[in-house]
Structure 1
Amino acid sequence: MTKRYPGGIAAVDALDLRVPTGQVLGFLGPNGAGKTTTMRMLVGLVRPTSGRIRVLGQPPGSPRELARVGALIESPAFYPHLSGVDNLRLAARYAGIPDSAADRALSEVDLTDRGRSPFRTYSLGMKQRLGVAAALLKEPSLLILDEPTNGLDPAGVSEMRELLRTLGRDGRTVLLSSHVLGEVEQVCDRIAVINHGRLVADGSPDELRAALGDGALLIAADPVDRAVACLRDQAGVHDVQVTDGRLRVSTDPALAATLNRRLVEAGVDVRELRPVRHSLEEAFLELTAPDRTEADDADPARTEPERPTTMTGSSR
C-alpha cells in the first residue's frame, strides 16, 4: 500500500507486509518513517492512496474488523473529568460489551487502585496504561499498539513487557511500535523495519542481527602480545584489535576451535572465547542509515509495481 499526502510526500511507499496469526510483530523505524500512518490505515482512520489492505480478512474500518481489533495509536484521549473506570465503561457501552469488561481491563494493566481517580490526575504513564486497557476491552484477536510504554517508569516498562508476553502466549496477534529496542527484542517474535515509508527488513531478531555478519570473535587471553602475534599469523584472520585487554578478531566464528587450539599450543592461556553478538540497536542503525536509504533510492528494483498489503489473522 502507498499513502501520499499533498505535495507528493510519500508517508508509506509500496509497503507489503503480512503478519501471521499469534505473532508479536515489532514495527520499527525512525521518527517520520511511516509507522503511525500505517497503523492509522489499518483501522480505517486514513485511506491509502493505492494498494489493498485486509485486517483479519476484512477491509479496514469495517464493523466486522473493528469488533475484533483493539488499538492504541498515538496518545490516548479520554474525558478528563471522568475516572479511569468510567471512561472505560463508556467505551464498553459504545462497543456493546458489559461494564464488567472495564474492571477486567483495569486489572490487566494494574490500574485498579487508581481506577476511580479522575483521568486528569493521571501521570503520562498511567494514561498510557489506560489506553492499553481500552484496547483490551473487547478481548480482541488483534492488538495494534503505538508506543505503549511511552512515559512509563522502569517498573511500568517491565510490567508492560510481561503483559505483552502474556498477550502473545494467549494466541493474540500483536503489532507493536516502539523505540525501546530492548523491549522489542525481549517481546517480539518478528521485527519489521520501515524507513522513509519502505519496508527495509523483516525477520526474527536473530535474523536481523545475523544480517550484519557475525564475522568476529571476542577473546580474553594472557599474555596479550603473544596472543596477538599468534592470531595474526593464522589463515582466515583478517584483523586483530585490542580493546580493554580483550581481542576482537575479524574472522569466521566457525574457526573458533582452531584458533583456541593454536593459542594454547603457543603457550597462551585462553580465559574467554566467544562470537561477537551484534545488538538489535546495531542492526536497526545499519538498516536505517542515510547511505543505505540513498542506495535504495538508486535501486531500479524500487520501481516495481506496488503489491497488495495484507495483515492476516484469525479469531482465537
Structure 2
Amino acid sequence: METILTLNNLTKKFGSLTAVNNLSFTIKKGNVYGILGPNGSGKSTTLGMVLNVVNKTGGDFHWFGGNNSTHEALKQVGAIIEHPNFYPYMTAAQNLALVCKIKGVRPEKISEKLEVVGLLDRKDIKFRTFSLGMKQRLAIASALLNDPEILILDEPTNGLDPQGIHQIREIIRQIAATGTTILLASHLLDEVEKVCSHVVIIRKGEKLYSGRVDEMNASHGFFELRSSEPEKLQTVLAEHLSIGKINFQDGLITAFLDEPLDAEVLNSYLFSKGIVLSYLVKRKESLEEQFLQLTNQISN
C-alpha cells in the first residue's frame, strides 16, 4: 500500500514548552486517520508542521515517499486548518472560482465539489448568509477542488450543532469511499470512532497509541468483584500473574487483565485462597475507557 506521509521523531518546541515530542507514524493511502487527543495535546501543531506553516524543531517528515519537495507534494494535498475564510459578499460559486484561479484548477470542478458537500443548490447564495455548518462544507469543497490525494481537516466539527456534525461526518465517509486518504485532528473520541479506520492518540505532544481503531480496544477486559473481605481480595488478586491494575471504589473492585482469564478459573482460584465472592462479572473495556486510561484521565 502506497505511503502518503511519514513522520520520523517530529518535534516542535516553543521556548521551554515542547508541543510535539519525537512523534512518529505513517499514513497509508486509502485510509481515514484520526489524530486524537485532549485540547493542547499538539494535534494542530503537528498538522501545521507537515503543511509547512509551522517550522519544526527536530525530526523530519516526508510526503509520498520523499520523491518530491514538500512544496511540490503539497499540491496534492487539500487542507482546512483554520476557520473558513471566504469573501462574505461573494456567492459560494464565486468564492470557489477564485480558489480555482489560485490553484490553477478548471472551473468545471466547482459544481462537482459543491455537489459532494451538498451545496450545489446554494451555489448562487452569498457566503455571509451561510450557517457555520454550511461554511465548513464550502471549505471542504474548496479543499477538494484540486482532487487531492489526501484531505487534512483540523477539528472539522468544532462548534457545529448535532445536525451539522452529522452532515460533516457523512461527507467525510463519502469522500473516503472514493479512495481519498483523510487525516483529521479531533479531541472527540466519538468522532474518531465513527469515521476513522486508524488512530494516533497523543497527549502533551507524545504518541500513546498508533494503529487501527478496531484494535485499540482489543484488550483482555476486566473483572468486577465484591467480597466481604475486600482488602484480602485485593492482595490475592495482585499476586495473580494474569491481572494488572486494580481499582477499589465504593466496595467494588475492578481488576484489569494483562492476558486472557476465564471467570470460572478466577473464581476457583480465589476460592482456593479462602475468598468467597458475592459478585463477579467479566466485562470488555469500551474504547472510551481505553482512551481515558491512555490519557491518564481515569482515576487510579
User: TM class, shorter-chain normalised?
Assistant: 0.7 to 0.9
Structure with the bigger RCO (C-alpha within 8 Å, sep 6+) is 1
The TM-score with structure 2 as length reference comes to 0.75
Q: Distance in 1 between matches of 2:263 and 2:13?
A: 51
Q: Distance in 2 between matches of 1:248 and 1:115?
A: 59
Quickly say closer, same or farther: Cα 1:98–1:251, change in 2 above 3 A: closer
Aligned residues: 265
Task: From 112, 120, 124, give the equivalent of 1:112.
Answer: 120
Q: Distance in 1 between matches of 2:42 and 2:138?
A: 25
Name the counterpart of 1:132: 140
Contact 1:36–1:74 (Cα < 8 Å) also in 2: no
Quickly say closer, same or farther: Cα 1:216–1:135, change in 2 above 3 A: farther
Contact 1:25–1:188 (Cα < 8 Å) also in 2: yes
Quickly say closer, same or farther: Cα 1:193–1:166, change in 2 above 3 A: same
Q: Distance in 2 between matches of 1:80 and 1:191?
A: 36
Secondary structure (helix, strand or coil) at the match of 1:54 reads: strand
Secondary structure (helix, strand or coil) at the match of 2:65 reads: coil
Secondary structure (helix, strand or coil) at the match of 1:2 reads: strand
Contact 1:132–1:148 (Cα < 8 Å) also in 2: no
Name the counterpart of 2:12: 3
Contact 1:43–1:60 (Cα < 8 Å) also in 2: no
Q: Distance in 2 between matches of 1:280 and 1:94?
A: 42
Q: Distance in 2 between matches of 1:69 and 1:79?
A: 23
1:277 aligns with 2:284: yes
Quickly say closer, same or farther: Cα 1:71–1:60, change in 2 above 3 A: farther
Contact 1:3–1:10 (Cα < 8 Å) also in 2: yes
Contact 1:53–1:59 (Cα < 8 Å) also in 2: no
Name the counterpart of 1:14: 22
- Mean Cα deviation higher: 41-50 or 61-70: 61-70
Q: Distance in 2 between matches of 1:189 and 1:95?
A: 30
Q: Which has the higher strand share?
A: 2
**1:218-237 aligned within 5 A:** none
Task: From 200, 206, 216, give the equivalent of 2:223.
Answer: 216
Contact 2:151–2:181 (Cα < 8 Å) also in 1: yes
Name the counterpart of 1:298: none
Contact 1:44–1:61 (Cα < 8 Å) also in 2: no
Name the counterpart of 1:75: 83
- TM-superposition CA deviations, 1:203-230 (whole Å, max 9, x none): 222332235x412379xxxxxxxxxxxx
1:102 aligns with 2:110: yes
Quickly say closer, same or farther: Cα 1:28–1:258, change in 2 above 3 A: same
Secondary structure (helix, strand or coil) at the match of 1:200 reads: strand
1:15, CA displacement in angstroms?
A: 0.9
Q: Distance in 2 between matches of 1:78 and 1:110?
A: 18
The TM-score with structure 1 as length reference comes to 0.71
1:68, CA displacement in angstroms?
A: 0.8
Contact 1:53–1:60 (Cα < 8 Å) also in 2: no
Question: What's the Cα RMSD here?
Answer: 3.6
Structure 2 gap segments, 5+ residues each: 1-9, 226-236, 267-279
Q: Distance in 2 between matches of 1:187 and 1:256?
A: 34
1:256, CA displacement in angstroms?
A: 5.7
- Mean Cα deviation higher: 247-256 or 157-166: 247-256
1:248, CA displacement in angstroms?
A: 9.6
Contact 2:203–2:295 (Cα < 8 Å) also in 1: yes
Structure 1 gap segments, 5+ residues each: 219-234, 260-272, 293-316
1:33, CA displacement in angstroms?
A: 0.9
- TM-superposition CA deviations, 1:30-57 (whole Å, max 9, x none): 1111111111111111111121111223
Contact 1:45–1:61 (Cα < 8 Å) also in 2: no
1:281, CA displacement in angstroms?
A: 2.3
Structure 1 letter corresponding to 2:210 = D
- TM-superposition CA deviations, 1:169-218 (whole Å, max 9, x none): 3222211112332221121111101111111111222332235x412379
Name the counterpart of 2:275: none
Identical-residue share of aligned pairs (%): 41
Name the counterpart of 2:201: 193
Contact 1:27–1:176 (Cα < 8 Å) also in 2: yes
Contact 1:41–1:60 (Cα < 8 Å) also in 2: no
